[in-house]
Structure 1
Amino acid sequence: MDLCRLQLTMMCKCLPTVSHSQLQDLKHEGTYLKYSHRDEDPLLMAVWRGDARVMRDILMTSESNQLQVNKDGWTPLHEAAYYGQAECMKILLLVAPQMINHQTTSSQTPLILAAARGHFACTQCLLDMGADPNIADKSKRTPIYEASVVGNVEMVQRILRSGARVDRRCAGGWTALHEAASRNNLSVTALLVEHGAKVDAVSDDGISPLFIAAQSGSVDTLLFLIKSGAEIAKEAKDGATSLFEACRHGHNKIVEILLSHGADPNKPEKRGLLPLHVAAKRGYCSIVSLLIPVTSSVKLQHSGISPLHLAAENDEDDTLEMLIEAGFDANSQLSSDWSCMYEDRRTTPLYFAVVNSNLNAAGMLLEAGAGPNLDTFNPLLVAVKQGYVNMVSLLLKHGAHINANVPTQSTSFPAAVLLSGTNLAVLKCLMDYGCDAMSCFQCSCGKRPYKATHVLQFTVVGFCDQFCEMLSRPTISHWAGPVIDVLLDYVGQTKLCDRLIEHLDSYGGWIHIKMKATLPRPLMHLCRLKIRQLVGVRRLERLKTLNLPGKITAYLNYAES
């Protein structure tokens, strides 16, 4: 005991002390708060301060044993390792060398804590005193793993020299090499490989260090792993390759490197998607430009989905334009397997653009020859339901079926009118493009009960077979007059049914609309209808370019004062 005290005395000569303010800073760290119930323990306070003199005095007293283990399994040696107090650690190990590999309730040894905190002096001290470098914590993380996370080359080298097993896997199956690769730490990566780390070690998900380097954009590490013989074509459990992962994360330089080293751009992952698909989905134009020339059109067809679909779905307009210019078919359709993933059974890129209210994308696709009537549920009806007048007009200009029906239900009047609801601007746009207004007034005043009907992804509440039933819905009835007023401009001699008359009679301000429907209709109105009918919708658009008197143009377009 006297010898031990003499050694303590000699070790503690000239050791620095830590001020009270520095101790207060330490107290605010998370680990201190874990052990606040011991904040009056003079030995721990000395460890936190790094005050070796006080530690010496405490340990040399004849009082009861100060080297207690708290409820979480931490000893003073763990505290010294955590806070990087190497001198305190030497004293503690001199007094109680049995603490060196003691594990907490999380199975952490002092060496694991020192390595994880990047304290090289503590790590070296523990190893010099015989700490075991291969003991893992509950997550199966070893000192070499933690040192690779920190990226301290000197520490990694010291732990490896002590006999650490380089390929120990953590709970998720990662090795120290995975960690080094994910951080693009070339020095640590090279050191691990030099000491026998397997370059193709895989995690529980089948992920290799090369895959991680591609995912994280670690160019230097990727090149080193390739040079060291790492397998480029290795797949993760979901079928994704390193190239696919680099494309997913937008690492242009990594994609270039992998392609130049023979990576296969036509290897699909388990869902059938190719690297080009994921690059288009994320809008990485530079990567898309690299992949277009090397991607097989046959493989794309077998995938059941075009990159155009993914670019349109994710509003990646620049990528969409690039794909169109490269010759991708604007009318490509989803396979049944892909289509059934959507409630509305959509199939075309145009449908995705319309659903997203992306007028620019829809315009590009239509100009590239996209047909507006290929989907089960017509994109025009989607635009009408959204109340997007410009989209409705764009689709109609490119030949959308204006009188298209909802596949799961039929009405005696156009479905577009039903879906337009109270949006008079959309309703007028439909009428200007030739929607069948007359059918709205050809009813028998049916008394069908109202019910909620789902139209694919849209819900039409209060399904109605006839127009007058639609206007009887509580959400629309207060708009009955203005809706009828718009429609009357596009019909000739017609008689309102009793239910429509009831609506117009329900509000005094609508008396002029009722008078407007009185037969016979004005001759000027009937002539306008006849001229518009003879000219046709498409020609009517061209009237604006002709040198006609302004009054005639205004008359034909319902714009006369």
Structure 2
Amino acid sequence: MEAEEERRREEERLQREHAQREAEERMRIAAEEQLQRERAQAEEEQRRIEEELEQRRREEEERREAEEKARMAAEEQQQLALAQAEQERQAMEAEEERRREEEHLQREHAQREAEERMRIAAEEQLQRERAQAEEEQRRIEKELEQRRREEEQLRREEERREVEEKVRMAAEEAGEEHREEGPSTGAVAHWSAVRSLVADQLTPREIMELKQLDPSEQRQKLQETVARFERSVSVEGDKGDEGERHTSLLHKACREGDAVAATAIITLTNGAGQMSRDDQGLLPADLAILHGHRSAAAVVLRGVPLAQLNTLALLLLPLLLPAAGNVPMPEQASLDAGLRAASATGREAAVRLLLHSRAAANSTQDDGATALLLACRPGHGGVVSALLAARADANKAAASGRAPLHAAAESGRSELVKLLLQNRANVEALTSKSASSAVALAARAGHCDCVEELLEARAAPSVPNVPGVPGAWPPLLAAAQHGRDGVVKLLLDARASPNMPASAPLHEAARRGHVETAQLLLSRGAELEARNDQGATALHLASQQGRTEVVQLLLEVRASLGSITNAGAAPLHAAVQLQHLEVLRLLLDARADPELAVANDDGGCRSVHLAAQQGFYECIQLLVDARANPTTELRGGFTPLALAARGGHGDCCQLLLELSNPQGALKAVDAPTATGWTPLLLAAKAGHVAAVRQLLDCGASVNLPSRRGRTPLMVAVEARQVEVAEVLLQFGAALSPTLPGGWTVLHLACHVPGNCVMIQQLLRARADANVLTEEGWAPLHLAVQSRDEANVQALLAAELPPAAPANTQVLLSPLHVAAEAGSVGIVRLLLQQKAPVAAVAEHGITALHLAGGAGLVEGVDSNPTDPSAAAAVAEALLEYGADVDAAMEGGVTALMVAARVGREAVVRVLLANGADCLRRLPSGWCSFLLAVRNGHAGIVKLLVRPELLEVKTPAGRTALQCAQKYGHRETVAVLREAMADVCGHLVES
């Protein structure tokens, strides 16, 4: 029983302990649940704080960007102010220079200006007196304006009655002849009125037949005759370049001011011709108004809408017929504009009417041209006389500096030149832009009569160059340039000097090919060997322009064949450079030295070199026939053959080889320059297919290399000259020769971007695609290095293994090279061709390590990689099964490499694919500490974990201490925020 009791008490104790443990377990579970809830709240709070911090960071960045923009704007404003100040300074200096030049000119022409001022003062006084008189006249005219209009109305009525009276008298005269009454009177009257207009178009027999008809038939015949000539009567003496101009009888009557004839024509045609226009678009009423015929205008205006009138005619209408219509009197500006328009078109009657109506004779249009200048250009003599009679200023020039005398002289209007000179036109005035005098303009155009008039008025035959106006040409120079022999003789007779500094008249005559002018200048003492600013003589210029006759003339007077320009060229060089064969023959016949070198050329360039370089076949033939050496070398070893080959002139290459002796030809075809380039190498590099073929046909060695070991095929491959390479292969170019380092032709082709066609061509020629250089590179490696997908595809199409052979020294596969270069397309292309994604290079480096930015291995091209491209490469490698945590020697993973070099995009890709961010190296470094050490704040934010905040570097520093030591402020801020979050969570818990 005691044992039973003991057992019972033991069971109760166990039950109580079990109950107590269950209670404790429930409490623990509750505590854990509470802890999880608190942790979740803490995480939520941490996310909120992170969001707030992120928001603050963005605001801070925006503030910094705004401050930076403001600073840059201030700097730009300051630079703009400095530039503006500099421009103002330069403008002030230019203005000061211009002022000094103006003062210099003013001092030179002081006497002339004084005389001009006296004349102007006198004219101003006269103008003031005239203005006073005109003001008084206008006052009187205003008082009489109404009276004049009334008188004009009465005058028009009287003119109408006069016209009717003339018609009646004509009818009576005709009636006496025919002794008839009634209807015949009107017909005969009309015949009498239009007789002068149509009589010259009818035969005497037709006129007699017209008179013998009965009245009704006579009227009908007369109407038919007038209607016929109304359409096709020619205006007498009015012909142009395009043939005879035609107008109607009514136009002719209005032009001549025959109001009676106009009335008869209108009656016979029932006014049908009043709205017809001539070839200038003018109505008969326009002609009557423009020619100032009041009576004719009054007749033809009846029934014509004023809106149909010509603009100038409508302006003149109220001046000619004040009572006609409701047209207001024109304002002063309209009168002035009308005067200029009438002057430009030669409407003398309109000009006189406008001047009588107070139009200003010296008013100007926008370009400063006056009515007188506009009239002088086409040579309207009557208009010019009317304007000068109205005291138009003969010296008032336009903005271009052209005065009326310039226009008259340039257009060859000798009568206007004489008239302007009589009205005190300044014979020495110069235009603004070219500083040309009236004599120079007339001389350039070849107007001998104008030049003679100007010279008689004591115009200077030799105007010197004006300071600041480089284009100023003396008259003799202008005449010689255009071959105006008559003008040249006049100027020389007036003692113009045939010799001028910088550019002599003989030079211009020679350059333009005016042989008679050149002969005239030479006969008057022109210096044969005078030089221009470039040091060229007349023979140089004539040879350069191919002026055969002038060259022959200059050689006859023994011009120097050996004179050289500032550039060191002789006349023979000038003729060769532009392939003037006839000139070249003349110079060689005159014993010009074909071996004369360009004086300023240290390389010894001769005429045959110039001809060969430009491919002038005939020039080479002529020079060699004159004993020029076809194999002479320039400095650097360039022969004419090498120059012709480099220029792609195959025919010249063949000629030069033919002109060499047989033994010399074999040597010349492969003669290298000082740098070891043969003619074939030069032609191959430049891509001249025809020249390459010609040289090979002439025995050039197809495999002869340069001093650096490059064969013609290699040169063509590197220059991407596909057609040249094809020709070389046809002639047996070898694929096997290698450069120092073991590079073959195919290596060179693969290394050049955009060379896929060349690669395909070499592969078809059975080039070995698996041969390695001494450094262990295969053609596929180099194609990948070129970053050209087409080059890689061309090699892969030849069924090459995409992974083998690897580089024999550093074990880099093509995939490694593509990953390091960031060539996403090539990486995917290789992976699609089953390239092993896990291949390991020296030190255990995988392609993923290189995408992360692993240290480059010696021998690999170190082009910087775009971070986004590196991330895309990493994605492609991981997609094809790359191990995200694969370690190279020392345990370094791709994540560690990317964190160290700062490739944030790659880090994101690796983390998204499960990379271990807590993995540490034996030394204690991890991805997080490497990012902190190198100050990559963005990556630190991606990698930070609470358990990593206290992890220490091999030197015993925490992440925060490490960042502070190396001065990475942004990283420090990120770490402090993370630590604040952790502390906040601990306090809450």
Higher mean Cα deviation, 57-66 or 202-211?
57-66
Q: How much does 1:210 deviate?
A: 0.9
- Mark the CA change 1:283 to 1:481 in structure 2 (over 3 Å): closer, same or farther: closer
Aligned equivalents of 1:114, 1:144: Cα separation in 2: 11
Amino acid at match of 2:575: A
Q: How much does 1:297 deviate?
A: 4.7
Q: How much does 1:316 deviate?
A: 0.6
Matching residue of 1:197: 459
Amino acid at match of 1:270: D
Higher mean Cα deviation, 142-151 or 474-483?
474-483
Matching residue of 2:500: 234
Matching residue of 1:403: 670
The 8 Å contact of residues 405 and 425 in structure 2, kept in 1 or not, is answered as yes
Amino acid at match of 1:416: L
Aligned equivalents of 1:116, 1:81: Cα separation in 2: 10
* Residue 185 (str. 1) matches residue 447 (str. 2): yes
Structure 1 unpaired stretches of 5+: 28-40, 447-463, 489-493, 512-561
Secondary structure of 1:233 counterpart? coil
Matching residue of 2:438: 176
Matching residue of 1:458: none
Identity %: 21
Matching residue of 1:106: 367
Matching residue of 1:315: 579
Q: How much does 1:104 deviate?
A: 2.0
Q: How much does 1:300 deviate?
A: 4.0
Per-residue deviation, residues 142-200 of structure 1 (Å, max 9, x unmatched)? 11111112211111111111111111111121111111111211111111111111111
Per-residue deviation, residues 98-152 of structure 1 (Å, max 9, x unmatched)? x111122222211111112211110000111211111111111111111112211
Q: How much does 1:424 deviate?
A: 7.0
- Mark the CA change 1:301 to 1:508 in structure 2 (over 3 Å): closer, same or farther: closer
The 8 Å contact of residues 232 and 258 in structure 1, kept in 2 or not, is answered as yes
- Mark the CA change 1:465 to 1:101 in structure 2 (over 3 Å): closer, same or farther: same
- Mark the CA change 1:351 to 1:75 in structure 2 (over 3 Å): closer, same or farther: same
Amino acid at match of 1:439: L
Amino acid at match of 1:119: H
Compare relative contact order (CA 8 Å, sep 6+) and give the higher one, 1 or 2.
1
Aligned equivalents of 2:327, 2:415: Cα separation in 1: 40
Q: How much does 1:404 deviate?
A: 3.5
Matching residue of 1:430: 695
The 8 Å contact of residues 535 and 565 in structure 2, kept in 1 or not, is answered as no
List aligned pairs for 1:261-340, cutoff 5 A.
Answer: 261-292=524-555, 293-297=557-561, 299-300=563-564, 304-336=568-600, 339=601
* Residue 77 (str. 1) matches residue 333 (str. 2): no
The 8 Å contact of residues 461 and 495 in structure 2, kept in 1 or not, is answered as yes
Q: How much does 1:438 deviate?
A: 6.0
Amino acid at match of 2:340: H
Residue from 241, 247, 254 that aligns with 2:517: 254
Query: Hey, which of these two has a bigger chunk of helix by percent?
Result: 2
Secondary structure of 1:439 counterpart? coil
Amino acid at match of 2:277: S
- Mark the CA change 1:351 to 1:415 in structure 2 (over 3 Å): closer, same or farther: closer
Secondary structure of 1:506 counterpart? helix
Aligned equivalents of 1:192, 1:393: Cα separation in 2: 63
Residue from 484, 488, 497 that aligns with 1:218: 484
- Mark the CA change 1:260 to 1:103 in structure 2 (over 3 Å): closer, same or farther: same
Matching residue of 2:775: none
Q: How much does 1:334 deviate?
A: 1.2
Matching residue of 1:517: none
Matching residue of 1:21: 277
* Residue 469 (str. 1) matches residue 725 (str. 2): no
Residue from 684, 704, 723 that aligns with 1:439: 704
Q: How much does 1:375 deviate?
A: 2.7
Secondary structure of 2:731 counterpart? helix
Matching residue of 2:645: 384
The 8 Å contact of residues 8 and 91 in structure 1, kept in 2 or not, is answered as no
Q: How much does 1:51 deviate?
A: 9.3
Secondary structure of 1:168 counterpart? coil
The 8 Å contact of residues 312 and 338 in structure 2, kept in 1 or not, is answered as no
The 8 Å contact of residues 543 and 583 in structure 2, kept in 1 or not, is answered as yes
The 8 Å contact of residues 387 and 420 in structure 1, kept in 2 or not, is answered as no
Aligned equivalents of 1:321, 1:273: Cα separation in 2: 20
- Mark the CA change 1:470 to 1:181 in structure 2 (over 3 Å): closer, same or farther: closer
Q: How much does 1:356 deviate?
A: 2.9
Q: How much does 1:480 deviate?
A: 5.0
Aligned equivalents of 1:164, 1:131: Cα separation in 2: 11
Aligned equivalents of 2:307, 2:411: Cα separation in 1: 29
Per-residue deviation, residues 228-269 of structure 1 (Å, max 9, x unmatched)? 11111123xxx1100001001110100110111111110110
Matching residue of 2:764: 507
Q: How much does 1:299 deviate?
A: 3.6
Aligned equivalents of 1:150, 1:301: Cα separation in 2: 38
Matching residue of 2:68: none
Matching residue of 2:634: 375
- CA RMSD for the aligned pairs? 3.9
Amino acid at match of 1:222: V
- Mark the CA change 1:144 to 1:313 in structure 2 (over 3 Å): closer, same or farther: same
Aligned equivalents of 1:59, 1:104: Cα separation in 2: 30
Secondary structure of 2:611 counterpart? helix
* Residue 349 (str. 1) matches residue 607 (str. 2): yes
Residue from 712, 731, 735 that aligns with 1:486: 731
Residue from 329, 342, 361 that aligns with 2:619: 361
Q: How much does 1:364 deviate?
A: 0.7
Aligned equivalents of 1:102, 1:425: Cα separation in 2: 70
Q: How much does 1:333 deviate?
A: 1.4
The 8 Å contact of residues 463 and 474 in structure 2, kept in 1 or not, is answered as yes
How does the TM-score come out when normalised to structure 1?
0.71
Aligned equivalents of 2:463, 2:479: Cα separation in 1: 13
- Mark the CA change 1:74 to 1:509 in structure 2 (over 3 Å): closer, same or farther: farther
Per-residue deviation, residues 291-311 of structure 1 (Å, max 9, x unmatched)? 124323564488721111111
How does the TM-score come out when normalised to structure 2?
0.42
- Mark the CA change 1:45 to 1:84 in structure 2 (over 3 Å): closer, same or farther: farther
Per-residue deviation, residues 395-422 of structure 1 (Å, max 9, x unmatched)? 1233473334355x445xx352452467
Structure 2 unpaired stretches of 5+: 1-140, 160-253, 258-273, 284-304, 739-743, 748-758, 769-989
Aligned equivalents of 2:585, 2:402: Cα separation in 1: 48
